Amino acid sequence: MPYILKNNKIDSRYEIKFFEIIRENLNNEKLDELYTLLDKKSNIVKDFINTLNLNNPDFEYILSLVFSIRRHKKKILDTISDKNLISAFNVFKGKKSQEIKVGKFLEILDYDDVIVKRDLAFEILHFLEPENNILWTTWIYKQDSGTGSLPYMADFLKRTWDGNAYIMPFTFREMRDEIDYLYELAYKNGFNIKPPFGTDILLAYMYADYVFKMVYAESKSLSVGVPDGYTLMKKLLGIEKI
């Protein structure tokens, strides 16, 4: 199976330094706050899906909790009927597999951007059943371009990158294996993150680091307006409004 990290050689020197830096920047106090907020978000999503046909659904609030579709939120609310949204979100109820639920959601939701629909489906599924479904949005890994926080992390750990994008035909199972491997790496290096949200936090940290460094590389003065890394992590995880 093709993997970005699992089954690939990692430079132990960079591995040790990598997790040393992360432990310094994500102390137990920050981790505990993030776990608490992610738990609250999970409960909000569960309540939303479970009461979908009983109350007037607050679609605006639910969509605001998904970072990667924030620019599409207004268009979704303005162009898609409540009836269609309810039908699409109802797909997440029941015992069908993650693949079937995502496929049905993409089929039903009347929106023309497949990437946006996919991100929304994966985010809802993860927070609805976090023990069973991993978080796999485009900021974590985007298949068509081979970009995201997972490949960015690989650049640090492997140090064998040839300059080409990490483009691999990931399946749900392969991505789950990568997430499990991240927990294994973290535990090995004394960064004791807890499932089901620990790798969400680790990957958000990497993406926030990437964003800040890219802006800072372009202009030190522009970086003044960029949120600090911890605030940016909360935005990525969709918990800054909770």
Top mean pLDDT of 98-107, 157-166, 210-219 is at 98-107
Q: Is 123 in a helix, a strand, or coil? A: helix
pLDDT given for residue 216 in this prediction: 55
User: What is the spatial distance between Cα 102 and Cα 98, in angstroms, rounded to a whole number?
Assistant: 6
Q: Each residue of 69-103: b (16+ CB within 10 Å) or e?
A: beebbeebeeeeeeeebebbbebbeeeeebeebbe
- C-alpha distances in angstroms, 95 versus 50, 125, 128, 130, 168? 14, 12, 12, 14, 29
Q: Token pair 């460094």 is at which residue?
A: 213
Bond from prior residue into 2 cis (ω within 30 degrees of 0): no
Question: How do residues 7-44 score in pLDDT, each as one tens digit?
Answer: 777 878 888 999 999 999 999 999 999 999 999 999 99
CA-atom Rg of the chain in angstroms: 18
24-33, 111-120, 179-188, 227-236: least confident range: 227-236
User: What is the spatial distance between Cα 98 and Cα 119, in angstroms, rounded to a whole number?
Assistant: 13
The count of other CB atoms within 10 Å of the CB of residue 149 is 22
Q: Do the Cβ atoms of 117 and 111 come closer than 8 Å?
A: yes
pLDDT given for residue 9 in this prediction: 76
Bridge partners for 142 per DSSP: 147
Q: Is 90 exceeded by the pLDDT of residue 3?
A: no
Q: Going by C-beta distance under 8 Å and a sequence separation of 6 or more, which residues neighbour residue 49? A: 89, 92, 93, 124, 128
User: What is the spatial distance between Cα 164 and Cα 11, in angstroms, rounded to a whole number?
Assistant: 19
> Among residues 202, 203, 222, which one has the least CA distance to residue 212?
222
Q: What is the percent of the chain where pLDDT is above 70?
A: 89
Q: Going by C-beta distance under 8 Å and a sequence separation of 6 or more, which residues neighbour residue 36? A: none
Q: Is 80 exceeded by the pLDDT of residue 159?
A: no
Q: Is 60 exceeded by the pLDDT of residue 229?
A: yes
Return the higher-pLDDT residue of 56 and 218: 56
Bridge partners for 147 per DSSP: 142
Q: Is 90 exceeded by the pLDDT of residue 154?
A: no
Counting runs of H as helices and runs of E as strands, what totals does the chain give? 11, 0
